[in-house]
Amino acid sequence: MTDECLRVGQKAPEFTATAVVDQEFETIKLSDYRGKYVVLFFYPLDFTFVCPTEVTAFSDRYKEFESLNTEVVGVSVDSEFSHLAWIQTDRRSGGIGDINYPLLSDIKKEICLAYNVLDPEAGIALRGLFIIDREGIIQHITINNFAFGRNVDETIRTLQAIQYVQIHPNEVCPVGWKPGDKTMNSDPIKSKEFFAAVE
């Protein structure tokens, strides 16, 4: 990984890469999604073990992301040809089948480096996940090590919280917040209303 630390609140690094979309090769840029939220997630390699469980889980929940004005984009250091072969392999045989979002090829490892998720010894990406808002600003970052996967429910919950506070700039979301739960006012006096109501 690089010495520079990418942080929330910063502009997401732009990229242009070849992706597999509906079993076709397309050139994808991050800026193509301006005006939408983006869940950009990195995974180590095609044809491995934890990775297909994550890639297919995000695909199976894609309509929920779409309903939240959000695009999902997966990235690994594999070639677009490897991505295509993985997509064309049935899930029961270790493939992922057709998925509902682009898989980007970062064979030169430039995107992994820009997002500071490349493990230099392994030469592959850690399980980084970035939620990028409509203006291209990073709002959330998580990075898991290789051996354990991420949680799609938590990604959606975090995305919903980000969207809520961006629409309601004087409110903040407490621990475990979900749509419909109480929020609190970010004013020191007004926030006491929330704490007074907590049992």
Tokens 């309601």 belong to residue:
168
129: Cβ contacts below 8 Å, ≥ 6 apart: 39, 40, 41, 42, 140, 141, 142, 143, 150, 155
The CATH number for 115's domain is 3.40.30.10
Map residue 31 onto helix, strand or coil. helix
35 falls within a domain = yes
Q: How many domains does the chain have?
A: 1
Which of the following is catalytic: 5, 51, 112, 173? 51
> Does residue 153 surpass a pLDDT of 60?
yes
Domain presence at residue 163: no
Residue 17 · residue 31 · CB < 8 Å: no
Residue 98 lies in a domain: yes
Whether this model's pTM surpasses 0.75: yes
Q: Which residue has the tokens 């090829």?
A: 105
* 162 in a structural domain: no
Residue 127 lies in a domain: yes
Residues 6+ apart with CB under 8 A from 49: none
**DSSP per residue over 83-105, as a string?**
HHHHHTS-GGGT---S-SS-EEE
pLDDT for residue 138: 98
**Banded pLDDT at 191 (limits 50, 70, 90):** confident
Section 120-141 average pLDDT = 98
**pLDDT average, residue stretch 125-148:** 98
Q: Is the pLDDT of residue 34 over 70?
A: yes
57: how many CB neighbours lie within 10 A of its CB? Answer: 15
The number of residues in the chain equals 199
Q: Closest by alpha carbon to 53, among 152, 142, 129?
A: 152
Is the per-residue pLDDT at 192 higher than 90? no
Is position 5 annotated as part of the catalytic site? no
Chain segment 73-101, per-residue pLDDT in tens:
999 999 999 999 999 999 999 899 999 99
- Contact predicate 73/29, CB 8 Å: no
pLDDT on residue 3:
53
Query: Percent of the chain, pLDDT > 90?
Result: 89
Take residue 16 and report the two structure tokens written for it. 């242009």
Beta strand 103-105 pairing with 16-21: antiparallel
- For 40-74, write each residue's pLDDT tens digit: 999 999 999 999 999 999 999 999 999 999 999 99
pLDDT tens across 166-182, in order? 999 999 999 999 999 99
Strand partners, 104: 19, 75
> Is residue 118 assigned to a domain?
yes
Separation between Cα atoms, residue 75 and residue 173, nearest integer Å: 30
- In terms of residue numbers, what domain contains 60? 16-150
Question: Does 11 reside within a domain?
Answer: no
Residue 176 lies in a domain: no
Structure confidence at residue 199 as a pLDDT band (50, 70, 90): low
Sign of CA dihedral 26, 131, 45, 92: negative
What average pLDDT does the chain have? Answer: 95
Helix and strand totals (H; E) in the chain: 6, 11
